[in-house]
Amino acid sequence: MKKTIVILAMMFMAHSYAQEIKQVPVVNVNGEAKVKVVPDQAIISATVETKGSNAKEVKRLNDQQIDAVLNVIKKSNIKNTDYRTKYVALNPQYDYETKKTNYNATQTIEIVLKNLATYDALMEALVTQGINRIDNVVFQSSELAKYEAEARKLAMKDAKLKAEDYVSVLGQKVGKAVLITDNSQNYQPQPVYARMQTMKMEGAAGPRETLATGEIEIISNVNVSFVLE
């Protein structure tokens, strides 16, 4: 009996508490901002690919070319922390017509180039020393965190302006924000793809530009709930 009375008392208290909760009028809006930035860095993925019928010889030649490539990178005043071996493979490839097995050795080096003014000279040197495939070039900003913060602030301002537009015709005002949801996607710089099997530059005359960096967009998207006053 006592247990039943306790349960009934708790139910009554919960019901009374629920009645005391007042519905707060809010307006939910979405805010978005885009910050365009001229990139000042590039991530280059470059590969040495070697083929042949002898696995040991193919690997030796590939290692020899990679050694020359790494020397070029070091001479280009690129820090040790700004380049790394990204991928290494040696794969057999069986030819059903000739009934022979050939081998394909690949090594990919990823380089963070922090001085885009040296891009053309570096790429030419890499190809000259053995790089025969440029997998991709991705442009980015060294001050990404700063521009992301700027985009977030602009997105919040956009949300508040929208809320004020909505309630202005109702004779109400926008109060404090009670809920903020960040819907921004993780920033991924858009890659510029440039595959290359052979690249002859011996006959190139004079300096030239081969890089058009353009701009990258940093986007922030938020959802905000404001109290109506």
Confidence of residue 188 (pLDDT cuts 50, 70, 90): low
Do 124 and 163 belong to one domain? no
Band of the pLDDT at 216, cuts 50, 70, 90? confident
The tokens for 192 are 């510029």
Residue 62 has pLDDT above 80, yes or no: yes
Q: How confident is the model at residue 98 (pLDDT cuts 50, 70, 90)?
A: confident
Q: Is residue 12 part of a domain?
A: no
The pLDDT value given to residue 53: 93
Nearest CA to 65 out of 114, 5, 9, 106 is that of: 106
% of the chain exceeding 70 in pLDDT: 78
| 46 and 96 both lie in a single domain | yes
Structural tokens at position 59: 């690997």
Contact 43, 116 (CB under 8 A): no
Which range of 17-21, 64-68, 184-188, 215-219 scores highest in mean pLDDT? It is 64-68
The distance in angstroms from the start CA to the end CA of the chain is 48
Question: Is the predicted pLDDT of residue 13 greater than 70, yes or no?
Answer: no
What mean pLDDT comes out for the span 80-109? 94
The chain-wide mean pLDDT, for the chain, equals 84
Mean pLDDT value of segment 17-37: 81
Helices (DSSP H) in the chain: which residue ranges? 2-20, 55-75, 119-128, 144-168
- Whether 178 and 229 share a structural domain: yes
Q: What is the pLDDT of residue 217?
A: 87
224 and 169 share a domain? yes
Q: What is the DSSP string of 61-102?
A: HHHHHHHHHHHHHHHTT--GGGEEEEEEEEEEEEETTTTEEE
> Is residue 162 within a helix (H) or strand (E), and if so which, with residue range?
helix 144-168
In a domain, 205, yes or no: no
One domain, residues 47 and 130: yes
Q: How far apart are CA 109 and CA 131, in angstroms?
A: 9
Whether 78 and 84 have beta carbons less than 8 Å apart is answered as no
Say which residue the tokens 């030419």 belong to: 124
Provide the number of structural domains found in the chain: 2
Structure confidence at residue 171 (pLDDT)? 87
DSSP 116: G
- The span from the CA of 125 to the CA of 172, in Å, is 66
CATH number of the domain where residue 78 is located: 3.30.70.2970
- The arithmetic mean of pLDDT across residues 121-139, rounded, is 92
| Residue numbers of the domain that contains 153 | 22-38+142-189+215-229
Domain C-terminal end among 140, 172, 206: 140
Tell whether 150 is covered by a domain: yes
Regarding predicted confidence, which is higher, 195 or 74? 74
Residue 30 CB neighbour total at 10 angstroms:
14
Token representation of residue 206: 């004079």
Query: Residues 111, 74: one domain?
Result: yes
pLDDT reported for residue 135: 93
Same domain, 85 and 131: yes
Q: How far apart are alpha carbons 147 and 36 in whole angstroms?
A: 9
